[in-house]
Amino acid sequence: MENYKKIIEDIYFEIKTIDDTGEIANYIPELANVSDHNFGIHITTIDNESFGIGDFDKKFSIQSVSKVFALTLAYKFEDAKLWERVGIEPSGNPFNSLLQLETDYGKPRNPFINSGAIVICDVLLSHLKNPKEDFLNFCKELSNNSSLNYNEKVAQSEKKSGYRNSALCNFIKSFGNIKNDVDEVLDFYFHICSLEMSCKELSKISLFLADDNFTSHKGNKILTMSQAKRVNAILLTCGFYDESGEFAFRVGLPGKSGVGGGIVAVHPDKYCIAVWSPKLNKKGNSYKGMLFLETFTTKTASSIF
Ligand code: GLU
């Protein structure tokens, strides 16, 4: 940890003051109320050593990062059958694109673009009695953290402006790949996106993807080794919208970003690291977050490649 700590500090101060060419997401009005000066980093190793700097303890809207936990829960329920509903290929298109759904007959390319996550939410609705509460409880178990919660204001703000997601959900339903009521699926989707965490919490909750021996505090194994391998593989190839290749090229770790400006990256058998800086590049990924992680894996020689 000492080695990581010094490197994280150096890069943090190096990047903190650079000119950030990104822009804060404002298509969900409530997200635009966050100060763009926030910048935090937190690393947690599989030995449970940890270190954070900057705004690492402030909660933010994790948005699409929650798609990782939704996929994990749906995968536990459905195992390989899940891939009949959603694919595992990068889309090469923006996160909210409708384009490929028509030629793919309503089967989203992967679980990390909006269409894919909406189908995952539909799968979860078919399994969970109280979907919002049960999903939140699953995240609490994953992280051993009872303070996790949705941000109702963010969920409602996205609901009011969620024309794109509404179009995606209705379009997929027309192909028969949404089984539940469209409004219920969307309400659940907007809530899971509104989940809030700090970098510290995000790096901790993701440990089940880095540590083969991970069991929750309730003694439950979350994913089998093979399932964790597959989730990490999809994170590497699809975790950053149509910039997934760029992230693998520059950072070299499986990971997931969200339009709240958070990124979590996983080094299997070593650590999880979360970065938050709200200004996004043109592809919707945190500008400073990507730069930080690129420098970090380069200086620590700790990409998976
Ligand atoms: N709730 C956001 C949306 O559906 C999530 C997008 C993201 O973080 O990539 O647009």
What digits encode the pLDDT tens for the residues 225-271?
A: 999 999 999 999 999 999 999 999 999 999 999 999 999 999 999 99
Distance from the alpha carbon of residue 90 to the mean position of ligand 1, in angstroms:
17
Q: Which of 111, 238, 256, 242 is nearest to 197 (CA)?
A: 256
The helix/strand/coil state of 242 is helix
Residue 105 maps to a domain: yes
Q: How far apart are CA 264 and CA 254, in angstroms?
A: 9
Domain span at residue 252?
2-300
Q: In what order do the strands lie in the sheet with 50-54?
A: 50-54, 40-45, 271-276, 262-267, 255-257
Q: Is the CB of 95 under 6 A from ligand 1?
A: yes
Look up residue 143 and give its two tokens: 């992280």
Torsion angle of the four alpha carbons 36, 38, 39, 44, in this order, in degrees rounded to the nearest 10: -130
Q: Is the CB of 72 under 6 A from ligand 1?
A: no
What digits encode the pLDDT tens for the residues 153-162?
A: 999 999 999 9
Q: Sorting pLDDT into bands at 50, 70 and 90, what band is 63?
A: very high
Residue 292 maps to a domain: yes
What digits encode the pLDDT tens for the residues 69-115?
A: 999 999 999 999 999 999 999 999 988 999 999 999 999 999 999 99
Q: Sorting pLDDT into bands at 50, 70 and 90, what band is 170?
A: very high
Cβ atoms of residues 70 and 231 within 8 Å: no
- Mean pLDDT (whole number) for 216-223: 94
- pTM greater than the 0.95 cutoff: yes
Instruction: Report the domain count for the chain.
Output: 1
Residue 33 maps to a domain: yes
Cβ atoms of residues 25 and 162 within 8 Å: no
Query: Is the pLDDT score of 3 beyond 90?
Result: no
Q: Is the CB of 202 under 6 A from ligand 1?
A: no
Predicted local confidence at residue 82, as pLDDT: 98
Residue 305 maps to a domain: no
Q: What is the CATH number of the domain that holds 30?
A: 3.40.710.10
Q: Sorting pLDDT into bands at 50, 70 and 90, what band is 2?
A: low
Q: Is the CB of 64 under 6 A from ligand 1?
A: yes
Residue 121 maps to a domain: yes
Predicted local confidence at residue 298, as pLDDT: 97
Residue 54 maps to a domain: yes
Residue 107 maps to a domain: yes
- With b meaning 16 or more CB within 10 Å and e meaning fewer, what string describes 186-222? bbbbbbbbbbbbbbbbbbbbbbbbbbeebeeeeeeeb
Residue 17 maps to a domain: yes
